[in-house]
């Protein structure tokens, strides 16, 4: 029996990078640089503080995000993308190009499928 990574070598990458909210966090840090928690929360929109905390901790654990704590009153905590995280830039660039080029066709295919009378998945 093969492991998931042997059957499809990108599975671990998809698990790390494309879990819910991870991509918007990385995208925001990549495009806007170092940010405080509240800036990320406002910039992403729709994410709860609890989930943002969980995702940031996971991204820090994976080495994609660095957390900087500055002991002052009030304490200052900032997050930034690491070099390892920045290395995902070309992947995000290619996905953006794919989206711009192909999402209209996906929308058309969905509309045709939905209009065909077939049950929706």
What residue ranges of the chain have pLDDT lower than 50?
none
**67 phi/psi in degrees, rounded to 5:** -110, 130
Give the Cα separation of 76 and 82 in Å (integer): 19
Q: What is the pLDDT of residue 4?
A: 55
pLDDT, residue 74, reads 87
pLDDT at site 99: 94
pLDDT given for residue 5 in this prediction: 56
Structure-block tokens of residue 63 = 């080495």
| Residues sharing a CB contact under 8 Å with residue 75, sequence separation 6 or more, in sequence order | 69
Contact 60, 66 (CB under 8 A): yes
* Cα radius of gyration rounded to whole Å, the chain: 18
CATH 1.10.10.10 in the chain, residue ranges: 4-82
What's phi and psi for 70, nearest 5 deg?
-115, 115
CATH assignment of 4-82, given 1.10.8.60, 1.10.10.10, 3.40.50.11030, 1.10.1040.10? 1.10.10.10
Cβ–Cβ < 8 Å for 80, 29? yes
Amino acid 56: pLDDT: 97
């Amino acid at each position: 029996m093969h492991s998931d990574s042997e059957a499809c070598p990108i599975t671990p990458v998809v698990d790390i990078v494309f879990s819910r909210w991870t991509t918007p966090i990385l995208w925001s840090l990549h495009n806007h640089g170092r940010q405080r928690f509240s800036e990320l929360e406002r910039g992403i929109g729709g994410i709860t503080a609890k989930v943002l905390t969980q995702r940031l901790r996971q991204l820090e654990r994976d080495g994609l995000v660095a957390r900087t704590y500055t002991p002052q009153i009030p304490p200052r905590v900032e997050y930034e993308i690491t070099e390892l995280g920045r290395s995902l830039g070309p992947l995000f660039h290619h996905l953006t190009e794919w989206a711009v080029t192909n999402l209209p066709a996906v929308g058309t295919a969905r509309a045709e499928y939905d209009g065909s009378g077939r049950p929706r998945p």
